[in-house]
Amino acid sequence: MPSADGVKCVVWDLDGTLWDGVAVERADGGLPEVRPDMLAAVDTLAGHGVLSGIASRSAPEVLERVTRDPRLAARFLAPRVSWQDKSHALRAIAAELGVAVESLLLVDDSPYERAEVEALLPGVRTAAPQDVPALLDALAGRPVTPEARARAGLYRTEEARRRAGERFAGGREEFLRWCGMRMEAGAAGGAELPRALELAERTHRLNSSGLDREQVRVLVERGGHRLFTARMTDRFGDYGIIGTALVRPGPAEWSVPLFALSCRIAGRGASVAFLRWLMEQARSAGADTFALDLRPTEANTELRLLFRQAGLRAGADGGGPAPSTVTLSRTLHGDLPPWPAWLRVRPLPIGTPS
């Protein structure tokens, strides 16, 4: 059974996996009876913050039947049913959900389909239906945050945002203003620690250094570091806690070993707004310099560009606290990165939990 670490979405085959039989062969135009154990597994995964999708090589009319079935439509996101290869479907599902394709796990009864995905998408894990109980056992006992339990609903809300954006007559910035985006940022309270640790562990695209859950927890418990979080809302609903930063505040310099945000808010100004807020807090506390640890990866190119635009540069030696990291820094005197014009930010006092 492949590891469940880092899995954000389990993608299910239909024929022979989610149900017995072949849907397209039914004369009545219906669907085979869905296996109760598979539906129960989907619900258990959702309770752990793991999404479920569908990838089936079948006639497109099967997709219409799936979306009309309330049990299936309520449980599965980004369904793909066509005669194309499963690897193509998984790429499309990852793009629609805004997650890395390597965070998907395919459950499929066909060894051929699993092999095709493993060959063309080497980072994607696969499993047979009989492996599902072991997958659920691997998730048992892991801490689950409110954001994780609500993740499927958050993605459905995101789909509503996407559809509204497609219908909107104005430009991108006008749409973002219309959304009424608001951010609150402040010191993390104890109840927010699990979500902050989850962001450190699960985010890759908008993660500066890749510190894991245990590293962050140890640094917070030792003292000398502070944890800050950011939350966003808009006219569609509450995004929840979407950002976290681990900060080592000093009298002359604020150092940030970890800056991480949910990939769901990419392109909405949240990254630069949270970074600007942290810089303002550092400057208000009397610091002259703002420094940030960066472990460059292929996944965090977008974040590295943001840091450069914010004036963060590597020093003469370029060295960071670990061999694979560099330390970027900038003065806090002069202009800071501009606030996104469409995003209202409520800066809380530095000692107030957000």
Write the pLDDT tens digit of every residue in 34-77.
Answer: 999 999 999 999 988 899 999 999 998 999 999 999 889 889 99
Q: What percent helix, strand, coil does the chain show, rounded to 5?
A: 40, 25, 35
Sign of CA dihedral 105, 110, 115, 117: negative
For the chain, give the mean pLDDT: 89
Question: What is the per-residue pLDDT for 161?
Answer: 87
117-143: pLDDT as tens digits: 999 999 999 999 999 999 999 888 777
Q: Is the pLDDT of residue 186 over 50?
A: yes
pLDDT at 330: 96
Geometric angle at alpha carbon 59, from 54 and 65, rounded to 5°: 65
Over residues 17-29, mean pLDDT: 88
Ranking 94-103, 119-128, 147-156, 259-268 by mean pLDDT, the lowest is 147-156
The residue-averaged pLDDT of 285-308 equals: 93
Q: How confident is the model at residue 27 (pLDDT cuts 50, 70, 90)?
A: confident
Residue-level pLDDT at 6? 80
Question: Collapsing DSSP states into helix, strand and coil, what is residue 325?
Answer: coil
Could you tell me what percent of the chain has a pLDDT over 90? 59
> What is the reported pLDDT for 351?
44
pLDDT digits over 316-353, tens only?
Answer: 666 667 668 899 999 999 999 999 999 999 865 444 44
H or E element in which residue 11 lies = strand 9-12
Length of the chain as a residue count = 354
Q: Given a cut of 70, is residue 277 above it in pLDDT?
A: yes
What confidence tier does 1 reach under pLDDT thresholds 50, 70, 90? Answer: low
Cβ(226)–Cβ(249) below 8 Å:
yes
CA 23/CA 29 separation, integer angstroms: 8
Task: Give the pLDDT confidence score for residue 252 in this predicted structure.
Answer: 96
Neighbours of 275 (CB within 10 A): 27
Is the pLDDT confidence value at 110 over 50?
Answer: yes
89 pLDDT exceeds 80?
yes
- The answer to whether 220 and 193 have CB atoms below 8 angstroms apart is yes
| Complete domains list, the chain, with CATH | 9-139 (3.40.50.1000), 177-347 (3.40.630.30)
- For residues 26 and 331, which has the higher predicted lDDT (pLDDT)? 331
Per-residue pLDDT tens digits for 63-75: 999 999 988 988 9
**pLDDT, tens digit, 9 for 90 and up, residues 193-232:** 888 888 888 888 899 988 888 889 899 888 899 999 999 9
